[in-house]
Amino acid sequence: MTGKRAHKIWDPAMECMSRDERHALQGRRLREVVRRVYDNVPVYRARMDAKGVKPEDIRTADDIVLLPFTEKTDLRDNFPYGLFAAPKSEIVRIQGSSGTTGKPIVVGYTKNDVDVWTQLMARALTAAGGGRDDIIQVCYGYGLFTGGLGAHQGATEIGAMVIPMSSGNTQRQIMMMREMGATMLCCTPSYATHLGETIREMGLEPGKDIHLKAGCFGAEPWTEEMRQKLEELLGIDACDLYGLTEIAGPGVAFECLEKDGMHVNEDHVMLEIIDPVTEKPVPEGQSGEMVFTTISKEGMPMLRYRTHDISSITTSPCACGRTTLRLGRLTGRTDDMLVIRGVNVFPSQIESVLVGIRGVAPHYLLVVDRVKSADVLEVQVEMTEDMFSDTVAHIVELEKKISGQIKSVVGIQAKIKLVAPRSIPRSEGKAKRVIDHRKL
């Protein structure tokens, strides 16, 4: 979408602080949180003792590298209260994920933790142009998942009207969006795309029947090509949003209307980018695994939490006026990465190819199998309605075109299977992109 609106900043004192001031603030808060977990969380105390590190060894923000890493398995192994740094009497909220197997991940929030998270999300919505005059429709799921409540409390904080739709029931979503005059949308990018396509199919026109101006989309990786598709479908500014249950839910990092990287809320979290194999820092601008440390959280602080999400950072100034680190678009996850015939393949690479090809929809599924000891990748792609009615020759030509472009980007040959419109299952939450039969 062209023509940026004037930038709004929710908390200029923190978001525009000099980097030297922020570094000093991070050092003070890091010292406090390390002392808190050492005194109250036996797991962290044992790990720090094993590394020969005491709280008094943490003097500045740079000393973060002395601390042990935390993994998602630690949350499961210590379920439910083993990593809490505050007594249960001070915990006012439990958030978490249901988990696909085994025990869920749960995180405890004190009242102050909820208030901080609310402020982070208020910053994100403000950066996307939100304010008191907006009507914000929240289509993230409510419940243990942090998306719905996180967006809701942030929208309430900035004084906007909230439509707490949660996920699902697309026709009803669009009816409420139209009748209530929603101006902002919060949901996953894949579901936003589905909403946009359905709106068009219903004969409704953005700007006339639908009055959305912007959206904050997260909870799954998405590409720049997907952004362009979303903005065309809905006539909005589509802004990226990052968060994770273990750290603070949505609002950990967010895009402003410059759409030139996500601003990291560095007064509450510290971010490192490491090589996932060597665990050493990588240079600015180079991709690596994101590692977060919470420096203001009371209920369940995280020290050097390995997200397995892959991105990069820049410290260059942003035209919006914020001085925080900016996080590049997520390119995938180390645990979602497919290794096919020795080549690293991320779903986002495939998506970047598909979104730019006329005749296919942005809905796809990667199916990996092993045939006669060789890895085989099949990419199932939905055709658009007009292509579906086209000749067999044109369809075969399109399959060859997609296969060629994927090989040029990823470096491997993939079998392309064009399927009927709406034949790939839709998700109202995170989209399922991969089926790997090699793991079954």
pLDDT of residue 440: 56
What domain range includes position 407?
338-439
Tens digit of each residue's pLDDT (9 = 90 or more) over 223-277: 898 899 999 999 999 999 999 999 999 999 999 999 999 999 999 999 999 998 8
Indicate if 212 and 356 belong to the same structural domain: no
The percent of residues in the chain predicted with pLDDT above 70, rounded, is: 95
Whole-model pTM? 0.82
DSSP class per residue in 315-366:
-SPPTTS--S-EEPPP-EETTT-EEETTEEE-HHHHHHHHTTSTTEEEEEEE
Q: Which residues neighbour 24 within 8 Å (Cβ) at sequence distance 6 or greater?
A: none
Higher local confidence (pLDDT), 406 or 347: 406
Indicate if 34 and 104 belong to the same structural domain: yes
Average pLDDT over residues 148-174: 96
Q: Which of 232, 211, 227 is nearest to 134 (CA)?
A: 211
DSSP class per residue in 53-90:
--GGG--SGGGGGGSPPB-HHHHHHTTTTTT-SS-GGG
Domain boundary among 281, 312, 331: 331
Indicate if 211 and 342 belong to the same structural domain: no
Indicate if 326 and 379 belong to the same structural domain: no
Indicate if 153 and 217 belong to the same structural domain: yes
Indicate if 297 and 394 belong to the same structural domain: no
Residue 426 scores a pLDDT above 80: no
Average pLDDT over residues 334-357: 79
Indicate if 103 and 239 belong to the same structural domain: yes
Indicate if 168 and 216 belong to the same structural domain: yes
Higher local confidence (pLDDT), 415 or 394: 415
Indicate if 302 and 357 belong to the same structural domain: no
pLDDT of residue 356: 80
* Distance (Å, whole) CA 379 – CA 340: 13
Structure tokens at 31: 């010292």
pLDDT of residue 101: 47
Indicate if 142 and 250 belong to the same structural domain: yes
pLDDT band at 140 (very low <50, low <70, confident <90, very high): very high
Domain boundary among 273, 301, 331: 331
pLDDT band at 429 (very low <50, low <70, confident <90, very high): low
CATH of residue 371's domain is: 3.30.300.30
Average pLDDT over residues 176-180: 98
Indicate if 317 and 382 belong to the same structural domain: no
Domain boundary among 280, 310, 331: 331
Average pLDDT over residues 120-149: 96
Indicate if 308 and 411 belong to the same structural domain: no
pLDDT of residue 5: 67
CATH of residue 220's domain is: 3.40.50.12780
Mean predicted lDDT score pLDDT of the chain:
92
Calculate the CA dihedral of residues 28, 34, 39, 40 and round it to 10 degrees: 110
Residue that the structure tokens 């997907």 belong to: 226
Give the lowest-confidence range in 10-19, 176-185, 361-370. Answer: 361-370
User: Number of folded domains in the chain?
Assistant: 2
